[in-house]
Chains A and B, each alone.
Chain A
Amino acid sequence: MNPYNYLYVAGLLFTIGAIGVVIRRNAIVVFMCVELMLNAANLTLVTFARINGTLDGQVVAFFTMVVAACEVVVGLAIIVTIYRSRRSASVDDASLLKR
C-alpha cells in the first residue's frame, strides 16, 4: 500500500481538527479537536518513519503521546474548574482577559 495515503488521511484529520477548534464553542469539543490535530501530526511522524526506514519518527510519536496525556490532565482540570465557577463550558464566555 502506498504510504502516502497515510499522509492524506493525516492531512484530512488535521483539517477536521483545525476547523473544529475554530467553529465549535464547547470547550470539551474544542479540546477533542486539538487532540485530533495532535494525532494527525503523530500519524505523519510514523508515516515518515516508515517511508525513510528509520525509527526516529516513531520515537517522537511516543513523546507526543506522553505530552498529550499530560496536557489532557491539566486541560480537563481547567475546563472542569471553569465549568464549576461559571456553569458554562463555552470558550466564548471565557473572554475576560480583554477587559
Chain B
Amino acid sequence: MVTSTSLVYLIALPLFGAAILLLAGRRSDKWGHLLATALSAGSFGVGLYQLSQMLSRPTAERAITQKLFSWIAVGTFKVDAGLLLDQLSICFVLLITGVGTLIHIYSISYMSHDENRRRFFAYLNLFIAAMLLLVLGNSYLNLYVGWEGVGLASYLLIGFWNQKPAYATASKKAFVMNRVGDMGLSFAIMISFATLGTVSFAGVQAASHTASKAALTAIGIMLLVAATGKSAQFPLQAWLGDAMAGPTPVSALIHAATMVTAGVYLIVRSNFIFDAAPTAQLLVVIVGAITLMFGALVGTAKDDIKKALAASTMSQIGYMILGAGLGPAGYAFAIMHLLTHGFFKAGMFLGAGSVMHGMNDQVDMRRYGALRKFMPITFATFGLGYLAIIGVPPFAGFYSKDAIIETAFNAGGVKGILLGSTALLGAAITAFYMTRVMVLTFTSKERWEDDQHPHESPLLMWIPMAILAIGSVTTGFLFTRGHALVHWLTPVVGERAEGGKVLLQPAVVSGLALVAVIIGVAIAVSKYQLGKVDSVAPQNVSVFTRIARKDLMQDSFNEAVFMKPGQALTALLVKGDDKVIDGAVRGIAATALGTGSTLRRTQTGFARSYAAFILIGAIVLIAAIWVVTQ
C-alpha cells in the first residue's frame, strides 16, 4: 500500500477554517465567508491533485494511506488514527468538496442578510471536515469520529435559526434519531472487536473470510441500523422532513447531497461483510425498497417545496440502499446514483432556495405558479435537475436509476421481480411528484399574494446552480461510458458476476422505466397543469391523501410506540429517584434532626442538673466496675 503525507490537508484545511471563524468571532465577520469558501475550494484542489496522482499509478497501487498517530494501543488492541484514500473515497472527496464549494459560493449571497453568516460558514467548514474524515478514515473507529462530527454539524445547522422553537425542536429531533443509528454503529464496532479482534477496514476484510456467519450477520445488521439513522431510511426516516428547518444551502449540501448518503457509503465500504452475510444483505434491500416507496408516497402530498424535495431525497437514497443491498452487481450503481443524485438534488435544492429568495421565503408551492417568466435561469437549472431525477435520457438519473432497476429485476427469482417492480413503481411516482413540484412552481397559473415581486437571483447564486445543472446533464453519460465508474470501483467492491441468468435486457428495462415515467408525468400534468389548483390545500380529501400529508403517520407511530412509553419510563424513574433515593437521604436527615431535638431537652442550663448527671454517671460507672470485677 502506498503511503502519503498530504492526505491530511484535505481535512485540515476546512477544519482550520472552522476553528479560525469560531475563535475569531465577530472580528472575522467581514472576511470569514471568503476564507471558508477559499479553504473549501483548497480542499477540492487537494482532492483533484490526489485524483491526478491516483490516475498516474497502476490500478493495484491506487489506494494510498497515511498514518496520523497511534491512537489507541491497549494490549493486542491497536487503532491508529489513519486515513485511506482509494477509488471509493476519492469519489466522495470530490463530491463533498466540489458540491460543498459551490454551496459555499451560493451561501455568500443567500445568507448575506443574516447577521450570523460567519457562524454559518464556520459550521459549513466543520461539516466538510467531518464528512471528509468520515469517508477517509481507514477503520470503523475513525469513521465513527467523522460520523459523529457530521451529526453535530447537521444539528448545529438545522437549528441555525434556533430563535424559532419549531426549528430548535427539529434539530433536536434529528439529533436524537441519529443517536439511535449511531448506537448501531457503536455496537457494530464492539461486535467487530469482540469477534474479529480488529476494527480497521483491511483487518475486518481479512478476518471476514474466517469469521462465523452469525457474527458477520450481527455486524451487518448493526451497520444497517447505523445507515438507516444517518441516511433517513425506514424505520429511522422521520427526522429528514423536519430537518428542512435549516437554511436551504444546508438542506442542499447536508440533507441531500452528502451527509445523508453516508449510510450508502458505510454499506458499500463494508461490502465484504454484507457479501458474507446474506441475511443482513436481504434486510438492506428490504429497507431500501420500503424507503423508496415511503419517500415517494410522502412526496406526492407535500405542499412545502423543501419537504417535497426532502421526501424525494429519502426515496432516492432508498434506491441507493436497494442498489447497495444487491451485492457486487449493485455497489457501483448505488455509488453512481449517489453521485448523480448529489448533482441534481443539490441543484434542485439551490433552485428551491432561489425561488424562496425571490418569493419572500414563501415555501408553500400552492402560493407559487408561473415563475418561469420571472426566474428563467432558476427554471432552466431546476428543470434540468428535474429531467435528471425522473430519468429522462440522456440526463444523469436515467443512467444511474435504470441501472439499479435493471439490477433489481435481475437479482433472481421472486425477490428480483418484487424489487424490480417496486423500483419501477417508485420511478413512476417519482415522475408524478417531481412533475407536480415543477408544474406548481414554474408553469401553472400565478397564485401569489399581492405584495410579492418574484425576481431572478444574483450571479453568485445562479452560477453554482448552473454548474450543478451541467453536472445533472453530463455525469450519467460520463460515468457509464465504457462502464467507467464500474471498472473504477471494482478493486474496492469486488468483481461483478457476469453471465448470470438475465431476466430482462437493459433495453427492455429502460423502455419499461420510460413508460412508467411518461405515465407519472401525464397524470401530474393533467391534474395540476390542466386542472385547477387551490391556493390553500383542500381539506375534504381522501383518507390516503390525509395519511400521506402526515408523512404516513411516522410521527404518530414514533410518539405512540417510543416517545410515550419513554416518557412514562422517565416519569417512573424520576418518581423512584424522588421517593426512594431522595426519601432515604431525607429520612436519615430527619432522624438525626428528631434525635437531636429530643436530646436537646437534657441541656437545661441549670448547673445543678449537670452536676446530678455527672453524679449519676459516676455512680453508674463505679457500679459497673464493681459488677465486672466481682
Contacts and interface: CB of A to CB of B under 8 A. Distances in A.
A94 B607 contact: yes
A97 B605 contact: yes
A97 B603 CA distance: 10
Interface in A70-99: 91-92, 94-99
A18 interface: yes
Assign chain A's interface to a size class.
10 to 19
Interface string B603-623: 111111001100100000000
Contacts of A21: 608, 611, 615
A91 B605 contact: no
A contacts with B: majority SS: helix
Contact of A95 (B604, B611, B612, B615): B604
Contacts of B611: 21-22
B171 to A, nearest CB: 61
A91 B604 CA distance: 13
B612 A22 contact: yes
B608 A92 contact: yes
A94 B610 CA distance: 13
A98 B612 contact: no
B607 A98 contact: no
Interface string B72-84: 0000000000000
Contact of B615 (A22, A25, A91, A97): A22
A29 B123 CA distance: 90
Contacts of B604: 95, 98
Contacts of A99: 605
Nearest to A96: B605
Interface string A23-65: 1010000100000000000000000000000000000000000
Nearest to B603: A98
Nearest to A27: B607
A92 B610 CA distance: 12
Contacts of B608: 21-23, 25, 30, 91-92
Most buried by A among B603, B604, B608, B612: B608
Nearest to B613: A22
Interface residues of B, number: 9
Nearest to A94: B607
Contacts of B605: 95-99
A57 to B, nearest CB: 20
Contacts of B603: 98
A25 B609 CA distance: 11
Nearest to B618: A18
A99 B604 CA distance: 10
Interface string B314-335: 0000000000000000000000
A48 B604 CA distance: 39
Interface in B577-630: 603-608, 611-612, 615
Contacts of B615: 18, 21-22
A18 B604 CA distance: 20
B607 to A, nearest CB: 5
A30 to B, nearest CB: 8
A91 B606 contact: yes
A91 B610 CA distance: 12
B606 A92 contact: yes
Contacts of A25: 608
Interface string B123-139: 00000000000000000
Contacts of A94: 607
B623 to A, nearest CB: 15
Contacts of A96: 605
Nearest to A22: B612
B596 to A, nearest CB: 15
A21 to B, nearest CB: 5
A2 B606 CA distance: 41
A96 B604 CA distance: 10
Contacts of A22: 608, 611-612, 615
B142 to A, nearest CB: 72
Interface string B323-361: 000000000000000000000000000000000000000
Interface string B280-298: 0000000000000000000
Contact of B607 (A18, A23, A91): A91
A88 to B, nearest CB: 14
Interface string A1-35: 00000000000000000100111010000100000
A22 B608 CA distance: 5
A41 B612 CA distance: 19
Contacts of A18: 615
A94 B615 CA distance: 20
A46 B202 CA distance: 99
Contacts of B612: 22
B116 to A, nearest CB: 64
Interface in B217-254: none
Nearest to B612: A22
Contacts of A92: 606-608
Contacts of B606: 91-92, 95
Nearest to A23: B608
B298 to A, nearest CB: 78
Nearest to B604: A98
A9 B471 CA distance: 122
A74 B608 CA distance: 19
Nearest to A18: B615
A90 to B, nearest CB: 10
Contacts of A23: 608
A27 B605 CA distance: 15
A21 B613 CA distance: 12
A95 B606 CA distance: 5
A42 to B, nearest CB: 18
Nearest to A97: B605
Contacts of A30: 608
A92 to B, nearest CB: 6
Nearest to A21: B611
A81 to B, nearest CB: 16
Given A95-B605, A95-B607, A99-B605, 10 more contacts: A22-B612, A30-B608, A91-B607, A92-B606, A92-B607, A92-B608, A95-B606, A97-B605, A98-B603, A98-B605
16 contacts: A21-B608, A21-B611, A21-B615, A22-B608, A22-B611, A22-B612, A91-B606, A91-B607, A91-B608, A92-B606, A92-B608, A95-B605, A95-B606, A98-B603, A98-B604, A99-B605
Q: Which 8 pairs of residues, A with B, have the shortest CB-CB distance?
A: A98-B605, A95-B605, A22-B612, A91-B607, A21-B611, A95-B606, A18-B615, A92-B606
